[in-house]
Amino acid sequence: MATAVFHQALGTAQSHQHLQNSGSHLEFGNASLKLISKGFKVDIGLSRRGSYSSWKKKFGVIQASASQTSVVQPVSYPPNNSSDELRKKSCEAALILIRHGESLWNEKNLFTGCVDVPLTKKGVEEAIEAGKRISNIPVDMIYTSALIRAQMTAMLAMTQHRRKKVPIILHNENEQAREWSQIFSEDTKKQSIPVVTASQLNERMYGELQGLNKQETADRFGKEKVHEWRRSYDIPPPNGESLEMCAERAVAYFKDHIEPQLLSGKNVMIAAHGNSLRSIIMYLDKLTSQEVINLELSTGIPMLYILKGGKFIRRGSPAGPTEAGVYAYTRSLALYRQKLDDMLR
């Protein structure tokens, strides 16, 4: 039971290393995990010669929303900076960012924010086209916001992937949700991609502007005031979030939960929103607050980053399945593409 809960709740314990299972104690090589099924507590530590270090660091936790209780406790890492740096430099992984396709309120020119609105027909087509552009890039984990337009975009995009793995949303809301959504076939698990939904990746909350027509709002309050609300870094709309406030939660989530997956070699796709993705790009590209407010992201256009040598390098948007420039930079992506070609001949 504990092992099943661990796999369902984390969705990341896929390892080619030797796995030992003794009751509620699991070992993955040098990583030791203790699970307590009643409370679903996971105590994770990296051991060195059988001993635990007392040095603590926050671990990337999978959770469905900001208000839900995590099932993962802080991780113990050995205080070996040289080995940590070596691991970072040797790691190579792909990060795909996709802003959701056009929503029904995008079409109507309404402020959407955190209102949960689905995609239009055009938005569906944009998501499918985005999937074609990334169809040769490996995806091991998917993160989306808690909003349906981002989730639809991720799911539709993956229908075009040549690997044909099935994206499956992890339900970590409570014990029953975890238990009822277990997968009991190892072969099926291998053909699945865990999808983590997180409200921290939601669009910026537009407060009292949500649901208002953008042109009518500009006519009412003045173009300059509305432009200030929409494009300044630290000035929020009435009872809403500024970009700075959105960045605080989105970047913190990325650093705590997504970046550790990338550093472990996982290839990750994030389907989210204009402002939450601008915030993450600000972190990746080390943009200033003035630079990020001028950053525009089109709906349904994927952006590719490569984590290599401990640094994120932007490779732009893959123009299509045969885009050579995407694969020229990293050997692992080129090999993955070759493997796909060999499998599907």
Catalytic member of 100, 161, 257, 273: 100
Handedness of CA 166, 172, 177, 183 (dihedral sign): positive
Q: What is the DSSP string of 33-65?
A: EEEETTTTEEEEEEEETTEE---EE------SS
Helix (H, G, I), strand (E, B) or coil at 222: coil
Per-residue burial over 152-182, b if 16 or more Cβ lie within 10 Å, else e, is bbbbbbbebbbbeeebbbbbbeeeeebeeee
Going by C-alpha positions, the residue among 21, 30, 27 that lies closest to residue 3 is: 21
Within 8 A by CB and 6+ apart from 192, the residues are 165, 166, 167, 168, 183
Residue 100 known to be catalytic: yes
- State the angle between helix axes of 243-253 and 274-285 in degrees (0 to 180), rounded to the nearest 10: 70
Q: What is the DSSP string of 281-298?
A: HHHHHT--HHHHTT----
Catalytic member of 7, 102, 161, 203: 203
Helix (H, G, I), strand (E, B) or coil at 270: strand
First CA to last CA across the chain, in angstroms?
40
Residue 126 known to be catalytic: no
Residue type at 153?
A: T
**Active site positions, annotated:** 100, 203
